Amino acid sequence: MNARSLTAGFATLIRRRETGVVVAIVVLIGFTTVVNPGFTTGSDGFRNLLLTPSLLMILAVAQATVIITKNIDLSVSAVLGLSAYATGRMFTDFPDAPIWLVVVLGIAMGAALGTINGALVSLARVPSLVITLGTLYAYRGISIAWAGGDRINAANLPREFTALGTATIGGIPVLFLVAVVVLAVVAYLLAHTRSGREMYAVGSDDSAAVLYGLPVRRRVFLGFVASGSLAGLAGVLFAARYATVSSTAGADLELSSVAAAVIGGVAIVGGAGTVIGAALGAFLLATINRALPTLGIGEFWQQAVVGGLIIGAIVLDRLIWARQARRLKSSHASIAAASSGTDRGVFAEPTRPPKEPVP
Amino acid sequence: MTTTAEPVSTTPVARPFGERLRSILLGRDAVIIVLVVLVWIVGASTVDNFSKPNTVYYLLLDVLPILLIALPMTMVVVSGEIDLSVASMLGLSSVLVGVLFQHGWPIWLAALMALGAGVLGGALNGFLVTTVGLPSLAVTVGTMALFRGIAVGLLGTEAVTGFPSEYKDLASDRLFGPGTAIPGFLLVFIVLATVFGVLLHFTAFGRAVYAAGLNAETSRFSGINVPAIKFWLFIGTGVVSALAGVYWTLRYDSARGDNAAGFELAVVAAVLVGGVSIFGGRGAIPGVIAGALLIGEARSLLRLADVSADAINIAIGVLLIASVIFPRVLSGLKGHLTRRRTSGSFTPLER
Amino acid sequence: MTSLHSPRRLAVVAGLAVALTVAVTGCGSDEPGGDGGYDIAFLPKNLGNPYFEASDAAAKEAVEGFGGSFKEVGPPEATTDGQVTYINTLTQQSVGAIVLSANDPSALCDALGEAREAGIKVITFDSDVDVDCRDAYVSASSPELIAQKQIDLIAEQIGGSGEIAVLSATANATNQNSWIAEMETYLASDYPDVELVEVVYGDDDDQTSYDKTEALLSSYPDLAGIVSPTTVGIAAAARYLSTSEFKGEVALTGLGTPNDMREYITNGTVTAFALWNPEDLGVLASYTAKAMLDGDITGTEGDTFSAEGLSSGVTEFTVGPDGVITLGEPFVFDADNIDEFNF
């Protein structure tokens, strides 16, 4: 019964955040379009409106999946970079390779890299912050070692592939459609399958999850494999969009993916938020980046805006949580105690049975 | 539940000075210190030019920012938190020095303002973590973007150069004259290292930091003001990062918004390699200094051997993971063996 | 307490030993200098830049051709502190000469000064530093000619009046800033109806340049032309333009390589652009270094030396004022001649 009222409370919370982000997006687009109609009208404007956020949306979904289990994946940008370069090399060395095969291989590469992360975190039980920090360095290093000073250029890639990067179907860019499909699939899996719901439970309170008998390690592992695969897919799409891949492809996107997820309502302490929220957060972030120059705000200020938004988002989360906890406290004292501010989120020690019997 | 007969003390008890000193210097951190020496010997004998004073000089100049920031970072991590905004504060401080210099301010005043910004930034982090109660990872990811964003916003991708040579010399002059190995600025580091070392290992404040990292709840109930301690620790990282920013600007003669981008990872790596536990409550300053020197040494060695930056990155990534995983694996194995040997009797759970 | 930490000790020892042994023994160190002792290191603005790949590959051939040993090092991104680190390393390695394209005119001076004190010859090419900080500068062409050629091209392509923008490389690059300054002077004197509305920086990074082009087009709906005096920038801008609704409406010119730009000349995105042969630049810089190491020249005006293997066939060069050695004039590429070149 505790779990259900908790979930009901969560549902309200989530609903509030996602709509907030949508409102922010609409206001932003509206305002910017008034200032410069070219922002959304004209074939370029509308296309870019949807195209530019697509890659970040996929990365945000990947990151959200991991954060929900109370972990973090700092290596996503390096996975994207490796996958993008691998895509380029595949086409350069095998010009007749079918596109679908290259896509599959890119995802597989991402999945393999994600498996390494997942195994290290779930088996060795080391905080994901440290592991993915290490793999970020390592994967980035491998990327540079493999690519060297080499670059994949548009000339090396098949025309149909690079055309995918800017192609539209009925005015909607293909890449955006891919992002939406990915989002829909992952959202469905997380909300309506047992594994998905268990991932939320694991992130929400892993000691309780162990007591419930949930396969905590497997769920955490799954999160990382999913994140890696999605980052791999994003890498292939990156190659299609930008058509030029160097060893620094995707650099610094890992923090944007965390920011997008956090802004979209995914709690950094795990167990709450939706991938839809994360994707919306990504859309908002990318659109802000595009809008700032148009609004005459030096583009250089966009990172400051992002930073401010992240802080605002987590403070907001905290206030809502505190209100929630207070409400719960009056009816379920023990649960409230567990959700006090000593939670260290991604730092917390991995699951162990409690040290002494609960009085 | 047992009942205690004696009164419970409210501050952690200090061990005798000599014992503490010995345990620090001869304990776990000794290994890393030995390694630093070992790598030096290996390097000097296999790679040309490695042991020349000039090389040592550049090595120290390059590793100084990591050394500086690793000091307060150690205390933050020992207390159970983390500060990822350090490199962004470095960049912001650098930009402030540059912008103020451009407007004709004297460097010493600009540097002072930069340090002030460090205090403010650290206070923001501290406030959000302690008063609002947010997890430090999330907060410092946000402030990392915010500080860097302000830095880049102020200068764009322009760089301010042309700082007066007296100040540049302060950052990069050698202590004993041309051609020798020790940069003068190292003295600043030595002073800071002593301060932080004493603070962490020989004062009640330091013991409280350890206590907070080991178990924040218990510490609070023991009368330790955990939030206040953590607040000051974040101010520590803020100020020292700002100092590192001033040093960086003068050393490279370039104030840029993206100075030291990505540097926070190098500092965390140095702290972890140096033996500090990411969970808090464990680790020591000498180990961290050795960890930072080790990384600096390895980089210098590999660069001189014309090994590319990528191999260095891979090595550091692997090192980071290895240094955190092996203890787990080995203690897991050990626990397994112990349980087998003493099966049937109650085995206390190891941390 | 200690029992828990022996695993950690072992861990760090093991991890480090493995990592370092592999790194130090497995990877090669470089051979000592060639016969004549011409130990020459090239330090471009950044690695992974096709312009420098062309110049440095030709330089390598030239250096090895006259019996020297060649090395190319550089930062992955065009930053000043990245270059300072490499200058320091090269100083420690006691190379004979450093040939660099600078990311900043003055910030590198301290590091270069230390190198020269250690007896290393410092030559800049493509992008210069302050005169006192180097021994000679090998310039592709004079900044006036380079700037004017590009402005002439864009003005012609937009019909003599309208708004233009510049997509540059990094904000501090010496060559970029000198050209932009010349462009502004030339516009004021010769093309009063052409207005330069903004200069944006692509940082010689492909993705950034691509995104900046998109931002320019959406922020300035009346933009008539873009000038990009950097090969990375113009290639990215062309790629963006060719898929955009502005293709053919917004003119694009600047400094580009024939191989990068061929496709866009063919599909009509770009009408004409300029450059010189970066390979020639690399070769000339190599021979300058050789001459300096031989003691034939010291960078003073009037010194002469010879170079071989340039596409123009010229072999005798004279050092000009301020130690500047000039390659020649910029060359215009368009649909008529683009197929004749391969770089």
pLDDT tens digits for range B148-172: 989 988 887 778 888 888 888 888 8
Query: Among partner residues B269, B312, B328, which is closest to A126 by beta-carbon distance?
Result: B328
Shortest Cα distance, chain C CAs vs residue A351, angstroms:
20
Residues 6+ apart with CB under 8 A from A163: none
Query: Among partner residues B27, B168, B254, which is closest to C81 by beta-carbon distance?
Result: B254
Q: Is residue C148 part of a domain?
A: yes
Is the pLDDT score of B5 beyond 60? no
Sign of CA dihedral B142, B144, B147, B150: negative
| Helix ranges, chain C (H) | 2-26, 50-65, 80-92, 109-117, 143-158, 174-190, 206-219, 231-242, 258-266, 278-294
CB count in 10 Å sphere of residue A44? 20
Mean pLDDT, chain B, rounded, equals 83
Interchain contact A248–C (C-beta under 8 A): yes
Give whole-number Cα distances, B22 to A337, B271, B292, C56, in Å: 41, 21, 22, 56
* Cβ distance of C205 and A248 shorter than 8 Å: yes
Chain A residues touching residue B128 (CB < 8 angstroms) = 311, 315
Query: Among partner residues C76, C218, C236, which is closest to A294 by beta-carbon distance?
Result: C218
* Cβ distance of C23 and B294 shorter than 8 Å: no
* Cβ distance of B324 and A269 shorter than 8 Å: no
Instruction: Say how far apart CA B155 and CA C284 lie, in whole Å.
Output: 36
pLDDT at B300: 83
Task: Report the domain count for chain C.
Answer: 2
Interface of A with C in 134-163 (CB under 8 A): 144, 147-151, 153-155
Interchain contact B250–C (C-beta under 8 A): no
Same domain for C166 and C261 = yes
Q: What is the ipTM of this complex?
A: 0.76
Q: Is residue C333 part of a domain?
A: no
In a mutagenesis test of the C interface, which of A49, A137, A153 is the best target, namely the one with the most C β-carbons within 10 Å?
Answer: A153
Lookup: tokens for C96: 């004979």
Q: Is residue C29 part of a domain?
A: no
Query: Among partner residues A36, A153, A247, which is closest to C76 by beta-carbon distance?
Result: A247
Q: Which chain C residue is nearest to residue B272, measuring alpha carbons?
A: C12
Query: Among partner residues B35, B47, B54, which is closest to C13 by beta-carbon distance?
Result: B35
Q: Which chain B residue is nearest to residue A307, measuring alpha carbons?
A: B146
DSSP code string of B79-147: TT---TTHHHHHHHHHHHHHHHHHTT--HHHHHHHHHHHHHHHHHHHHIIIIIS---HHHHHHHHHHHH
Chains in contact with B, counting 3 or more C-beta pairs less than 8 Å apart as contact: A, C
Q: Is residue C336 part of a domain?
A: no
Instruction: Say how far apart CA B86 and CA C96 lie, in whole Å.
Output: 39
H-helix or E-strand containing B160?
Answer: strand B159-160
pLDDT at A356: 42
Interface of B with C in 116-135 (CB under 8 A): none
For the stretch B181-190, contacts whose Cβ atoms lie closer than 8 Å and that sit 24 or more positions apart, written own/partner, are B181/B53, B181/B54, B181/B56, B181/B57, B181/B60, B182/B56, B182/B57, B182/B60, B183/B57, B183/B60, B183/B61, B183/B64, B185/B61, B185/B64, B185/B247, B185/B251, B186/B60, B186/B64, B188/B68, B188/B243, B188/B247, B189/B64, B189/B67, B189/B68
pLDDT at B23: 63
Interchain contact A125–B (C-beta under 8 A): yes
CB count in 10 Å sphere of residue B90? 34
Instruction: Say how far apart CA C146 and CA A54 lie, in whole Å.
Output: 39
Chain A residues touching residue B148 (CB < 8 angstroms) = 303-304, 307
Shortest Cα distance, chain C CAs vs residue A268, angstroms:
29
Query: Among partner residues B141, B217, B321, which is closest to A131 by beta-carbon distance?
Result: B321
Same domain for C54 and C92 = yes
Is the pLDDT score of B21 beyond 70? no
Query: Among partner residues C9, C12, C109, which is closest to B273 by beta-carbon distance?
Result: C12
Instruction: Say how far apart CA A110 and CA C97 lie, in whole Å.
Output: 44
Shortest Cα distance, chain B CAs vs residue C325, angstroms:
26
Domain boundaries, chain B: 28-37+45-331
Shortest Cα distance, chain A CAs vs residue B169, angstroms:
31
Interchain contact A82–B (C-beta under 8 A): no
Interface of A with C in 35-54 (CB under 8 A): 36, 38-39, 42-45, 48, 52
* Cβ distance of A145 and B133 shorter than 8 Å: no
Interchain contact B220–C (C-beta under 8 A): no
pLDDT at C33: 36
Shortest Cα distance, chain A CAs vs residue B281, angstroms:
13
Mean pLDDT, chain A, rounded, equals 82
Half-sphere exposure of B315 (CA within 13 A, CB side): 27
pLDDT digits (tens, 9 = 90+) for B250-304: 998 888 887 887 788 789 888 988 888 888 888 889 889 998 998 888 888 878 8
Instruction: Say how far apart CA B213 and CA B222 lie, in whole Å.
Output: 14
pLDDT digits (tens, 9 = 90+) for B47-86: 777 777 888 888 898 899 999 999 999 999 999 999 999 9
Interface of B with C in 251-270 (CB under 8 A): 252-254, 256, 258-259
CB count in 10 Å sphere of residue B138? 28
Same domain for C239 and C286 = no
* Cβ distance of C93 and B258 shorter than 8 Å: no
Could you give the angle at the alpha carbon of C204 between the alpha carbons of C203 and C210, nearest 5°? Answer: 85
Chains in contact with A, counting 3 or more C-beta pairs less than 8 Å apart as contact: B, C
Instruction: Say how far apart CA B307 and CA C20 lie, in whole Å.
Output: 11
Q: Which chain B residue is nearest to residue C6, measuring alpha carbons?
A: B28
Mean pLDDT calculated for residue range B122-133 = 93
pLDDT digits (tens, 9 = 90+) for A138-169: 888 888 778 766 677 777 788 888 888 878 88
Q: Per CATH, which fold does B28-37+45-331 belong to?
A: ABC transporter involved in vitamin B12 uptake, BtuC (1.10.3470)
CB count in 10 Å sphere of residue A211? 13
Query: Among partner residues B27, B42, B306, which is closest to C29 by beta-carbon distance?
Result: B306
Interchain contact A314–B (C-beta under 8 A): yes
Chain B residues touching residue C10 (CB < 8 angstroms) = 326, 330
In a mutagenesis test of the C interface, which of A40, A299, A300, A303 is the best target, namely the one with the most C β-carbons within 10 Å?
Answer: A299
Looking at mean pLDDT, say which of A240-254, B21-35, C25-39 comes out highest: A240-254
Chain A residues touching residue B273 (CB < 8 angstroms) = none
Q: Find, among A265, A282, A104, A70, the residue nearest to A183 by Cα.
A: A282
Pick the more confident residue, B329 or A356: B329
Backbone angles phi, psi at B183, to 5 degrees: -75, 145
Same domain for C230 and C161 = yes
Q: Find, among C234, C243, C211, the residue nearest to A44 by Cα.
A: C243
CB C183 within 8 A of CB C147: yes
Residues in chain C with pLDDT values less than 70: 1-36
pTM for the complete prediction?
Answer: 0.80
Same domain for C147 and C131 = no
In a mutagenesis test of the B interface, which of C46, C70, C83, C92 is the best target, namely the one with the most B β-carbons within 10 Å?
Answer: C92
Mean pLDDT calculated for residue range A268-286 = 89
Same domain for C182 and C126 = no
Interchain contact A253–C (C-beta under 8 A): no
Domain, as residue range, for C81: 39-140+278-328
Model confidence band, residue A12 (pLDDT cutoffs 50, 70, 90): low
Pick the more confident residue, B162 or A280: A280
pLDDT at C308: 86
* Cβ distance of C244 and A149 shorter than 8 Å: no
pLDDT at C4: 39
pLDDT at B348: 47
* Cβ distance of B273 and C106 shorter than 8 Å: no
Instruction: Say how far apart CA B128 and CA B131 lie, in whole Å.
Output: 6
Mean pLDDT calculated for residue range B211-235 = 89
CB A60 within 8 A of CB A261: yes
Same domain for C102 and C49 = yes
Backbone angles phi, psi at C89, to 5 degrees: -60, -45
Q: Which chain C residue is nearest to residue B38, measuring alpha carbons?
A: C17
Chain B residues touching residue A315 (CB < 8 angstroms) = 128, 132, 134
pLDDT digits (tens, 9 = 90+) for C55-82: 999 999 999 998 899 999 988 778 888 8
Structural class in CATH, domain A2-336 = mainly alpha
Domain boundaries, chain A: 2-336
CB pairs under 8 A between A and C: 65
Chain C residues touching residue B273 (CB < 8 angstroms) = 12
Query: Among partner residues B158, B248, B315, which is closest to C171 by beta-carbon distance?
Result: B158
Last residue in a domain, options C275, C304, C338: C275
